[in-house]
Amino acid sequence: MTKKFETATFAGGCFWCMVKPFDTLPGIEKVISGYTGGTVEHPSYEQVKTGTTGHMEAIHITYDPQLFPYEKLLELYWTQVDPTDDGGQFFDRGSNYRTAIFYENEQQKRLAEQSKRELALSGRFLKPIVTRILPAAPFYPAEEEHQKFYKKHPDRYTAERIESGRDAFIHDNWGS
């Protein structure tokens, strides 16, 4: 039987920090760091980090929905970001570090909106949930040096997560 893979795209601030939580789970075929949501075709990291291209750093996930349904991707996504911060994520500031869920179809849109509503109603956060839910836009893979950064530079990756405040935020809001 042939597996039917689907894709999902999430912006959650620094893409280096977003890959690992998804990368090693059963049903996740691959996770690519890249850029989406902007106006420049095939932007570079240097262009995107200026905040002038309209792109966000994002991850593009290829997954088997039979083993890892989209709802589970959403659950994991919310636990990796501060959905109340519209100015970036943690110490990464600017529109290129905002949070967004880019839906591929109406079912993903419906599930994303539902999960956002449920999070807002949960009372977990005192401030409004500002993560955008947007139609999928062209996704451009980042340069090779940014792919699987956590494997290539484990010490720098760990330091980035700690120094940025991401790990403390996750622990304080979601536990271990």
Residues above pLDDT 90, as percent of the chain: 97
- Could you tell me which of 17, 114, 25 has the C-alpha nearest to residue 68? 25
Q: Does position 3 have pLDDT exceeding 80, yes or no?
A: no
Which one from 11, 14, 73, 101 is the annotated catalytic residue? 14
User: How high is the mean pLDDT of the chain?
Assistant: 95
Q: What pLDDT sits at residue 2?
A: 62
Which amino acid, residue 176? S
- Could you tell me which of 50, 38, 37, 46 has the C-alpha nearest to residue 10? 37
Q: What pLDDT sits at residue 128?
A: 97
Q: Say whether domain 6-174 belongs to CATH 3.30.1060.10.
A: yes
* Chain segment 39-98, per-residue pLDDT in tens: 999 999 999 999 999 999 999 999 999 999 999 999 999 999 999 999 999 999 999 999
* Chain segment 127-142, per-residue pLDDT in tens: 999 999 999 999 999 9
Q: Does position 176 have pLDDT exceeding 80, yes or no?
A: no
Q: How is the chain split into domains, by residue range?
A: 6-174
Q: Dmax over Cα atoms in the chain, in whole Å?
A: 47
12, 21 in Cβ contact below 8 A? no
Instruction: List C-alpha distances in Å: 172 to 43, 79, 80, 83.
Output: 35, 11, 12, 14
Q: What pLDDT sits at residue 78?
A: 98
Stretch 9-15: mean pLDDT: 96
Question: Can 17 be counted among the known catalytic residues?
Answer: no
H/E/C letters for each residue in 124-163? CCCCCCCCEEEECCCEEECCHHHCCHHHHCHHHHHHHHHH
